[in-house]
Copies of this chain bind each other. A is one copy, B any other.
Amino acid sequence: MFKMSRTTIKDVARKAGVSTQTVSRVINGRPDVAVATRERVTSVVQELGFRPSALARGLIKGRSFTLGVVTAGSKDVGPLLTLGGIISEAQEHGYALLLEELPGFTATEVEPIIDILVSHQVDGILWTIPEIGDNHAWLDTWLDEIPVPIVFLNMHPRQGITSLSIDNYTGAMLATRHLLEMDPRTIAHISGPLTWWDARERMRGWQDAMKEAGREPDFSVEGNWSSSSGEEAASQLLDSHPEIDAIFAANDQMALSVLLVAHRRKICIPEELAVVGYDGLAESAYYFPPLTTVHQDLYTLGSHGVRMLVGLIEAERQEWTAPLQATVVSPKLIPRSTTW
């Protein structure tokens, strides 16, 4: 089969015996076309299988109805769930998505990524990279270079930048307070990697909730989100401090390992060891025993982010400066059988 050059508006115009202008009017649904003409053109469009070039359109209009999305860690479930929400919502609003990955989590690679997105005339950018170390430092010096609206997801809120984040601090407080209600001897924490803003916030929530109850937040071990790091952390905690009878893990995957370690040691859950996780993965309801956890709706985070971004874009079209806001949403506790 030969792949001849794609059919253009000219081909349609010629075959329908009208000017390209008229064809343009028809395919854009303008009212000022005679019914007869419109029908003729429409049928030729069908016949030839004509599809207007989004590129040519974008070139003229200066916009492309495309949103740029920057992700990282495309191996982890969290970011991917967020992406899921982004995809659906963008579709809903009629935007296509141009996806770029920031390899690793480093800051260095930011410029080429932005370049690609901007050169494709994206109408806005959604930044979904977790804040790790100083990988958001470029923001302070560099943000002005970006000629389109940009929304950051799960970032430490900053002045004058639009972002949408889940309140890790409050989530961790919820978890810890819930454990405190059981009046345990002591509550340990298995944190995420402390270079992560999210991990630090959760840790801080645990600490403050402990102090608030007159307890010392003495025992914590740093994990790396993975179940295997959770296993190590749990073993270590239980070995060195047998008095620990409650653990707050910074995500469900690490909490899962805590359960496993406890089973191996014949420790009863929740009687001898209470556990709370974080994330609210669907499967956590079927762990053994079903895991008490703090649910954060990553999917909704993504779709909400798109809505904010689209808002900014619309605002700009209408020449009014949109209010830059840092929105924070609260996670919620789901009590199940690893506490009571």
Question: A87 contacts which chain B residues (CB < 8 A)?
Answer: 71, 74, 99, 101
Binds B, one of A163-171, A210-218, A237-245, A285-293: A285-293
Pick the contact of A99 from B56, B85, B99 — CB < 8 Å? B99
Binds B, one of A186-194, A252-260, A322-330: A252-260
Q: How far is the CA of A115 from the CA of B49 in the complex (A)?
A: 10
Question: A58 contacts which chain B residues (CB < 8 A)?
Answer: 55
Binds B, one of A14-22, A116-124, A195-203, A305-313: A116-124
Q: How far is the CA of A321 from the CA of B287 in the complex (A)?
A: 51
Binds B, one of A30-38, A76-84, A133-141, A173-181: A76-84
Q: How far is the CA of A66 from the CA of B99 in the complex (A)?
A: 10
Q: For the complex formed by this chain, how many copies does it contain in all?
A: 2
Pick the contact of A227 from B97, B282, B316 — CB < 8 Å? B282
Asked whether B97 lies within 8 Å of A256 as measured between CB atoms, the reply is: no
> Measured between C-beta atoms, what is the minimum distance from A247 to chain B in Å?
15
Q: Say yes or no for A88: interface residue by CB 8 A criterion.
A: yes
Asked whether A144 lies within 8 Å of B1 as measured between CB atoms, the reply is: yes
Q: How far is the CA of A83 from the CA of B98 in the complex (A)?
A: 13
Q: Say yes or no for A51: interface residue by CB 8 A criterion.
A: yes
Asked whether B51 lies within 8 Å of A115 as measured between CB atoms, the reply is: yes
**Residues 254-273 of A at the B interface (beta carbon under 8 Å):** 256-257, 259-260, 263
Q: What is the interface size of chain A, counting residues whose CB is below 8 A from a CB of the partner?
A: 65
Q: Say yes or no for A47: interface residue by CB 8 A criterion.
A: no
- A81-B84 in contact given A98-B96, A256-B287, A263-B288 (Cβ < 8 Å): no
Question: A120 contacts which chain B residues (CB < 8 A)?
Answer: 54-55, 66, 96
> Measured between C-beta atoms, what is the minimum distance from A226 to chain B in Å?
7
Q: How far is the CA of A256 from the CA of B285 in the complex (A)?
A: 10
Pick the contact of A6 from B88, B147, B253, B288 — CB < 8 Å? B147
Interchain Cβ contacts under 8 Å between A and B, 26 examples: A3-B147, A3-B316, A6-B62, A51-B115, A51-B118, A52-B119, A54-B120, A66-B120, A74-B84, A74-B88, A75-B81, A80-B80, A87-B99, A88-B103, A91-B101, A96-B98, A96-B100, A96-B116, A98-B98, A98-B99, A227-B282, A227-B285, A253-B286, A256-B286, A259-B288, A263-B288
Since A56-B59, A227-B283 are in contact, a sample of 20 more A-B pairs with Cβ atoms closer than 8 Å, ordered by chain A residue number, is A3-B147, A51-B119, A54-B116, A55-B59, A66-B98, A74-B83, A75-B84, A75-B299, A80-B84, A88-B103, A91-B100, A91-B101, A97-B100, A227-B282, A227-B286, A228-B285, A231-B286, A256-B287, A260-B290, A283-B283
